[in-house]
């Protein structure tokens, strides 16, 4: 043990030795460039497809310990926030870095509430989608289009502009999401009711019918608000990485958030909650669980809602969501799919295939069961993920914009294609054949 915070690398191709500093338990990939075999050598690259072991930024927002199943927003354990906070207060914490006092929370709530209305043209966009358009597709398109309503958002280095876009996006995404749902149902749009809480207002825009004023069920309102807290941020996940990469070109935040929503849409990410329900409905009964476990173990499909790139223990959010389910069922009646989910979990957590790969339920395993019990169609489930994650995306965006170490994202590659070759007139060319090592489809 020398106690020096460095890595000594010996390049066995040349026998040269290099001393590379270690900071925050990481080395800078750029420090590898000095390792060359000769002067023409561009230097060593680090190769990390899907960035499985690469930190792309320094962040103060969210801390995850995957081995211990720990999740904290700005240092506060997710369990305490889920029990004692509310989504809008947690959004303030994530965006501003501290919990608000009474005065600042009142101002924050007012600022968000003042931005729940959307431009009337947004209706035209939503009306332009097919009757059966997936609401995540509507969200991607509509949020991207919002960049054309707010050209001031291009002033990304202006603090007041960043604050205004943050309020607009956190305030308006529930309205757009609810209107996408109303369109699917062929129902008239409901305007925001600013007397209600953030989540209560969302429920009103979803479910208000002919009554003069919508009254959210307090148990369902609290359950949805806690689910929003649990989904508010999760450090450098796929959609946040997409947001940061797009935002690194200094584009406006609406375009960057649209990219994040697009990434979240995928079944391996935020679309997993929808995929879980479809899986549970396909399994259909507890008696068929062993048959499906066998399929997943043979690589035929995946146990959706299980596994995580970082958590190699139980996702702390899944534990909380499992408890919320029973509170919701008190109001909605039990969703029978939970019995299938519980049996899948019981068997999987005893099976070496899952244990050896450290596959545990993640945030998406039980959330869809609650959403379905509340009456949401499965296509709305990823939308319910995108709404709260907007606070995390805006905090990550601001952190990127202000980080002096950041610049436009432009990764390198390892070229394995053809060496130089020269153009041949078409008459002289051989028939194109599918080469053994071809990585693209033959035409």
3-class SS of residue 89:
helix
Which listed residue (31, 233, 252, 364) is catalytic?
A: 364
Of 314, 156, 303, 325, residue with least CA distance to 243: 156
For ligand SDX, which is the closer residue by CB, 156 or 264? 264
Asked if 305 is part of the footprint of ligand SDX (rule: CB under 6 A), the reply reads yes
Beta bridge partners of residue 65, listed in sequence order = 70
**Span interacting with ligand SDX, options 86-94, 161-169, 296-304, 395-403, rule CB under 6 A:** 296-304
DSSP, residue by residue, 363-429: THHHHHHHHHHHT--GGGHHHHHHHHHHHHHHHHHHHHHH-TT-----------S--------GGGP
The size of the interface with ligand SDX (CB under 6 A), counted in residues, is 21
Give backbone dihedrals phi and psi of 247, rounded to 5 degrees, phi first: -65, -20
Of 109, 80, 262, residue with least CA distance to 199: 109
Cα–Cα dist 134/130, whole Å: 9
Helix H or strand E encompassing 239:
helix 238-247
Asked if 230 is part of the footprint of ligand SDX (rule: CB under 6 A), the reply reads no
Judge whether 315 counts as a catalytic residue: no
Query: From the list 96, 302, 312, 334, which residue makes contact with ligand SDX (rule: CB under 6 A)?
Result: 302
Asked if 294 is part of the footprint of ligand SDX (rule: CB under 6 A), the reply reads no
Cα–Cα dist 437/59, whole Å: 41
Residue nearest to ligand SDX (CB): 307
Asked if 307 is part of the footprint of ligand SDX (rule: CB under 6 A), the reply reads yes
Asked if 72 is part of the footprint of ligand SDX (rule: CB under 6 A), the reply reads no
Judge whether 234 counts as a catalytic residue: no
Which listed residue (11, 119, 269, 339) is catalytic?
A: 269
Sign (positive or negative) of CA dihedral 356, 361, 365, 366: positive
Query: From the list 224, 226, 259, 272, which residue makes contact with ligand SDX (rule: CB under 6 A)?
Result: 272
For the chain, the maximum distance between any two Cα atoms, rounded to a whole number of angstroms, is 80
Beta bridge partners of residue 16, listed in sequence order = 11
Query: From the list 82, 363, 380, 400, which residue makes contact with ligand SDX (rule: CB under 6 A)?
Result: 363
Asked if 116 is part of the footprint of ligand SDX (rule: CB under 6 A), the reply reads no
Asked if 269 is part of the footprint of ligand SDX (rule: CB under 6 A), the reply reads yes
How far are the Cα atoms of 323, 420, 424, 442 from residue 427, in angstroms, in the given order? 71, 21, 8, 19
How far are the Cα atoms of 88, 165, 180, 294, 311 from residue 206, in angstroms, in the given order? 19, 24, 9, 40, 33
Minimum CB–partner distance for residue 304 and ligand SDX (Å) = 5
Return the residues of window 9-68 that contact ligand SDX according to CB under 6 A. Answer: none
Return the residues of window 320-359 that contact ligand SDX according to CB under 6 A. Answer: 357, 359
C-beta of residue 219 within 8 angstroms of C-beta of residue 328? yes
How far are the Cα atoms of 70, 165, 344 from residue 284, in angstroms, in the given order? 33, 44, 12
> x/- binding map, residues 126-155, to ligand SDX, per CB under 6 A?
------------------------------
Written as six digits, the tokens of 345 are 């979990």
Query: From the list 108, 125, 296, 393, which residue makes contact with ligand SDX (rule: CB under 6 A)?
Result: 296
Asked if 244 is part of the footprint of ligand SDX (rule: CB under 6 A), the reply reads no
Judge whether 403 counts as a catalytic residue: no
For ligand SDX, which is the closer residue by CB, 141 or 307? 307
Minimum CB–partner distance for residue 325 and ligand SDX (Å) = 17
For ligand SDX, which is the closer residue by CB, 181 or 306? 306
Asked if 234 is part of the footprint of ligand SDX (rule: CB under 6 A), the reply reads yes
For ligand SDX, which is the closer residue by CB, 139 or 238? 238
Active site residues: 269, 308, 364
Give residues in contact with ligand SDX (CB under 6 A): 234, 237-238, 268-269, 272, 296, 302-310, 357, 359, 362-364
């Amino acid at each position: 043990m020398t106690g020096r915070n460095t890595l000594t690398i010996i390049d066995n191709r040349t026998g040269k030795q290099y001393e590379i500093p270690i900071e925050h338990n990481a080395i800078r990939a750029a420090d590898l460039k000095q390792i060359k075999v000769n002067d023409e050598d561009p230097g060593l690259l680090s190769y990390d497809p899907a960035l499985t072991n690469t930190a792309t930024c320094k962040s103060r927002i969210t801390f995850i310990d995957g081995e211990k199943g720990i999740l904290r927003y700005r240092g506060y354990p997710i369990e305490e926030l889920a029990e004692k906070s509310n989504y809008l207060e947690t959004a303030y914490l994530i965006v501003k870095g501290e919990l608000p006092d009474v005065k600042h929370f009142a101002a924050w709530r007012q600022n968000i509430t003042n931005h729940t209305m959307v431009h009337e043209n947004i209706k035209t966009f939503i009306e332009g989608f097919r009757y059966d358009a997936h609401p995540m597709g509507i969200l991607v398109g509509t949020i991207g289009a919002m960049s054309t309503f707010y050209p001031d958002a291009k002033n990304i280095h202006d603090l007041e502009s960043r604050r205004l876009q943050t309020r607009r996006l956190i305030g308006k995404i529930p309205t757009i999401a609810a209107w996408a749902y109303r369109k699917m149902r062929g129902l008239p749009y409901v305007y925001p009711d600013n007397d209600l809480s953030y989540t209560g207002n969302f429920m009103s825009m979803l479910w208000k019918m002919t009554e003069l004023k919508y009254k959210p069920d307090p148990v369902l309102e609290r359950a949805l608000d806690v689910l929003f807290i649990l989904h508010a941020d999760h450090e450098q996940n796929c959609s946040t990485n997409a947001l940061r990469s797009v935002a690194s070109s200094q584009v406006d935040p609406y375009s960057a958030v649209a990219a994040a929503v697009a990434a979240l849409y995928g079944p391996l990410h935020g679309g997993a909650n929808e995929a879980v329900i479809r899986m549970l409905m396909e399994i259909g009964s507890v008696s068929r669980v062993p048959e499906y476990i066998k399929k997943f173990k043979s690589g035929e499909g995946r146990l959706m809602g299980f596994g995580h790139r970082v958590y190699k223990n139980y996702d702390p959010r899944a534990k909380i969501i499992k408890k919320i389910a029973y509170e919701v069922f008190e109001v909605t009646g039990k969703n029978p799919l939970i019995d299938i989910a519980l049996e899948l979990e019981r068997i999987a957590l005893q099976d070496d295939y899952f244990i050896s790969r450290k596959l545990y339920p993640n945030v998406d395993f039980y959330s869809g069961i609650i959403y379905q019990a509340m009456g949401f169609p499965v296509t709305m489930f990823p939308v319910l993920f995108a709404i709260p994650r907007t606070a995390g995306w805006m905090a990550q965006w601001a952190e990127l914009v202000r980080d002096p170490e950041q610049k436009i994202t432009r990764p390198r590659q390892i070229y394995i294609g053809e060496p130089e070759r020269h153009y041949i007139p078409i008459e002289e060319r051989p028939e194109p054949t599918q080469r053994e090592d071809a990585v693209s489809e033959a035409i």
